[in-house]
Amino acid sequence: MTYKLESAGPVGFAGDWHGNTFWALEKLKSFAAEGVKRIYHVGDFGLWPGYDGAGYLRKVNRDLEKHDQEIYVVLGNHDDYDKFEVLREYEGGWKKFKGYPRIFFAQRGQVWYDGDVRMAALGGAGSIDKNLRTEGKSWWPQEEILDSDVDKLVNNVKEAGWDRVDVLITHDVAQGALVKGFTYMPNWATPDVELYCNVQRNRLRIANDIVQPFTVVHGHWHEYSVGDLEGVNSDLQDYTTKVIGLAMDGMYCNTIVATLTHKDVLPFYITE
């Protein structure tokens, strides 16, 4: 049976926080002012190595407890996958640290209900700056979205008996969707790395065409955007996905509050 979170009223969605403690705590406070108890984070959350990473998680968990909130994180490309892989798995497939019980991490292809809304996660993304980073310290090869991750999502959706996903949370976004951020590739982005990133967006597009989410919420591109992605499914039927991209920490439109319903996340509005 597919895991079900009881409906908790309006939910929050948050874009990249990059381990920015001050920003994260302010956003939790803003969510609390709107009555938000459940927050979904689209990745580059701040699961980082070392003392600073532990301090960030401790303070975020502390304020989640203060506001009686929980946060559900879909990993990005700058999160520490070595830490993630050794975490214990809890009910519904969610992973968490024993010492930070309010912070949950999604596995690739995970599906669940929020109330009666069909939710799914497919995290990860290609780092365009991977050649400038150090493996195991600031870059992890597990960031890559694999064909097997797409297969896992598709199989989990099929086993749940869903014809479509209501809300798919990703870090990057499918090829063909509106994105902002880089309007040109920086000179340190080599052709092989650019290809590496595009291959993963193509895999996200394959996943999108199969599970046909009514809404995708993502980050990664560091700017807010809303648009429609039109596609064709395996039965050659047209479908449309609303795509909501969230900005990064320190920027307007990093967080939104939404009421989840079948086929939509409307009404939603941007928090200050």
Q: How far apart are CA 264 and CA 262, in angstroms?
A: 6
Does position 179 have pLDDT exceeding 80, yes or no?
no
Does position 171 have pLDDT exceeding 90, yes or no?
yes
**Residue 265: band (very low, low, confident or very high) from pLDDT cuts 50, 70, 90:** low
Domain boundaries defined on the chain = 9-270
Q: How far apart are CA 37 and CA 30, in angstroms?
A: 11
Q: How far apart are CA 191 and CA 185, in angstroms?
A: 10
Which sign does the torsion angle of CA 63, 65, 68, 74 carry? positive
Q: How far apart are CA 112 and CA 107, in angstroms?
A: 11
Task: Show the tokens assigned to 172.
Answer: 């990057």
Task: Using the structure block, give the residue that is written with the tokens 């493996």.
Answer: 135
Does position 219 have pLDDT exceeding 60, yes or no?
yes
pLDDT at site 120: 98
Q: Does 9-270 carry CATH code 3.60.21.10? A: yes
**Residue 266: band (very low, low, confident or very high) from pLDDT cuts 50, 70, 90:** low
Residues 6+ apart with CB under 8 A from 243: 173, 174, 177, 178, 215, 216, 218, 225, 226, 227, 228, 229
**Residue 186: band (very low, low, confident or very high) from pLDDT cuts 50, 70, 90:** confident
**What is the per-residue pLDDT across 54-110, written as a single tens digit (0 to 9) for each?**
999 999 999 999 999 999 999 999 999 999 999 999 999 999 999 999 999 999 999
Does position 182 have pLDDT exceeding 90, yes or no?
no
Neighbour-count burial of 252, counting CB atoms closer than 10 A to its CB (0-12 exposed, 13-18 middle, 19+ buried):
exposed
Across 52-211, the runs of DSSP E, i.e. the strands, are 70-73, 88-89, 95-96, 103-105, 111-114, 117-122, 167-170
Q: The whole model's pTM is what?
A: 0.96
